[in-house]
Amino acid sequence: MAKTTKTQKTLEQTLWETADKLRGNQEPSEYKHVVLGLVFLKYISDRFEERRESLTVELEADGIREERLAQFVESRDEYTSHNVFWVPENARWGHIQDRAKLPSVGEDIDKAMDIIEKENPSLRGVLPRNYGRDGLDKRRLGELVDLIGSIGFTSSDDHGSDDVLGRVYEYFLGQFAGKESGKDAGAFYTPRSVVRTLVEMLEPYKGRVYDPAAGSGGMFVESAEFVKAHGGKHTDISVFGQEFTETTWRLAKMNLALRGIEADFGPKSADSFTEDLHPDLRADFIIANPPFNQKDWWSPKLTHDPRWTLGLPAEGKAGSNFAWLQHFLYHLAPNGTAGFVLANGAMTDKSGTNSQIRERLVESGLLDCIVSLPSKLFLNTTIPVSLWFISKDRSGKLHRERNDEVLFIDARQLGTLISRRQRVLADSDISLISETYHSWRNIDGGYSDSPGFACVATKLDIQRQGYVLTPGRYVGTEELDEDRDSSDAEIERLTHDLFQEFEIGKILENQIRELF
């Protein structure tokens, strides 16, 4: 969370005010699309101006004469060489802000987006250009420009180094999760503490990183930050992704472009099941939060798909979880490891072929670790989730041999509530989980079971439990309610649909969430 002072609002507080400006003129599900483009424009403009100021100071210190100073500070290479977008004068935020009260403000923003795309090839075909449309009130748009102009995105600001677009996306999904953004239980931005846990456990130092359900690209942003924090460069990893929703696909490309991360997201948005854009990719690391419990994932064309190496998934929504699992497995390199989020029901589900796939996963020696996470980590769902890790490197060549073992971690008691509805994993929580995993995984790691928290189980132990993978059964804590995830999803869907039409809906919905 951003720091709060008497003179500076948090990013979330400012975003709430932007929603007030748009309310009544745009559908809630559209708010994020209007705001995200403006936040992107403000972000790159702030970073451009920051580099411009530092460049001016450098040149003055070198004794460059004033008449030549302008020539140097307008040199594109002085910006792109520092991983800063080149922003032409008519696309800079100051120019937009000066015209915020004019009827042409929407057209001016569209022109700015067009100019930036032309000057920065990595952004072509990505930025939104629909601010001049008749349905968007220009007076309110101008007020929105003024509000976003109050947010600072330089490196010295609270909002300058975060996954900014991801945070904006998360905020609007959490506040206005309606039929468009909330229809699939897993289709939302992954909280940073969950992403960090996955990344710290996977340790993607170098190689190909793949996310076939990329969302806003936060997994890649955090992976690049991890590499940088450990002395590497973001170019040490090659990024491959895919995203089904076009607007989110564009968002992911924008988000990674801000960080200078080159990524192959394919030529368009597409369904990873029916139109795999990277069919030949074998990744060293797969990190994902797929839209679990999908109802409409199945297509008859998938019946004989080569990805179903453990069995044909059931056609229902529970089957989608095991379809994702096998999609990850199929795309792993011979020494690759995948870490991903699934609804807790996948650990116990016995419908169709799902239990058979789970059994084969264990018996094949591919399942590495399962972590039960605490509730309320996600803004717009209370569905309890777990982290799954599968690995093709379990032979002892790089790590301790563990073909006959699975590590179970029950982290449900970790995390800190920062509001009634939201919990975050602290750095110490993430370290405890990841260090436990690595102490078990690595040779001479010094691992030992921790009753109530972590336990190593053999294939025979898991067989005796009917291949149910709930960590509580192995570490000695009470089991999770196996039906809770599906019932919560239905409760959330009903409460959203029922109360969204009423002004008091938000208050009532929050009260109902507290009961469950």
| E runs forming strands in 398-505 | 405-410, 416-417, 423-424, 454-458
- Over the stretch 115-138, which tens digit does the pLDDT of each residue have? 999 988 878 888 888 899 988 888
Tell me the pLDDT tens digit for each residue of 39-65.
Answer: 889 988 998 999 888 888 887 776 666
Buried b (16+ CB within 10 A) or exposed e, 18-48: bbebbeeebebbbbbbbbbbbbbbbbbbbbb
The C-alpha atoms of residue 219 and residue 287 are separated, in whole angstroms, by 7
How many residues belong to the chain?
Answer: 516
Rounded CA separation 97/216 (Å): 27
Chain segment 158-180, per-residue pLDDT in tens: 554 555 666 676 666 555 544 34
For residues 182 and 109, give the distance between their C-alpha atoms in angstroms, rounded to a whole number. 29
Query: Which residues is 416 bridged to in the sheet?
Result: 424
* Complete DSSP assignment for 336-397: EEEEEEEEGGGGT--STTHHHHHHHHHHTT-EEEEEEPPSS-STT----EEEEEEES--SSS
pLDDT at 493 over 80: no
pLDDT mean over 72-94: 86
Paired sense of beta strands 207-211 and 283-288, if any = parallel
- 339 strand-pairing partners: 287, 389
- How far apart are alpha carbons 216 and 166 in whole angstroms? 6
Give all domains of the chain, ordered by start, each with its CATH number: 11-161 (1.20.1260.30), 179-352+366-402+414-450 (3.40.50.150)
* 89, 137 Cβ separation under 8 angstroms: no
Can you give the pLDDT at residue 105?
A: 93
Give the pLDDT of residue 257.
81
Query: In the block, which residue shows the tokens 């599968």?
Result: 390
Instruction: Quickly list DSSP for 124-174.
Output: TTTS---TTSTTS-HHHHHHHHHHHTT---STTSTTSSS-HHHHHHHHHHH
Res 484: pLDDT: 47
Whether residue 91 contacts residue 64, with contact meaning beta carbons closer than 8 Å, is answered with no
Which tokens sit at 38?
């403006």
Classify burial at 427, counting beta carbons within 10 Å of its beta carbon; exposed 0-12, middle 13-18, buried 19 or more: exposed
The three-class DSSP label of residue 464 is helix
Report the number of secondary-structure helices (H) and strands (E) in the chain: 19, 11
pLDDT in tens, 280-290: 999 999 999 99
Q: How many CA atoms lie within 13 A of 346 on its CB side?
A: 33
| CB-based contact 436:409 (threshold 8 Å) | yes
DSSP SS3 for 416: strand
Residue 313 binned pLDDT confidence (cut-offs 50, 70, 90): very high
| Strand-pair partners of 11 | none
User: Within its chain, how far is the Cα of 101 from the centroid?
Assistant: 35
Which strand (E) or helix (H) includes residue 223?
Answer: helix 218-229
**How far is Cα 39 from Cα 42, in angstroms, rounded to an integer?**
5
Secondary structure E strands in 255-358? 263-264, 283-288, 332-343
CA distance 207 to 285: 7
Distances (CA, A) of 475 to 269, 407, 410, 457: 42, 10, 7, 9
Residue 66 confidence (pLDDT) = 66
Residue 106 CB coordination number (10 Å): 20
- The chain-wide mean pLDDT, for the chain, equals 81
Which residues are paired to 406 by β-bridges? 457
3-state secondary structure (DSSP) of residue 262: coil
Query: Three-state DSSP class for 463?
Result: helix
Cα separation of 159 and 36, whole Å?
A: 14
Question: What is the predicted pLDDT for the residue at 489?
Answer: 42
Please check the confidence at residue 249 and state whether its pLDDT lies above 90. Answer: no
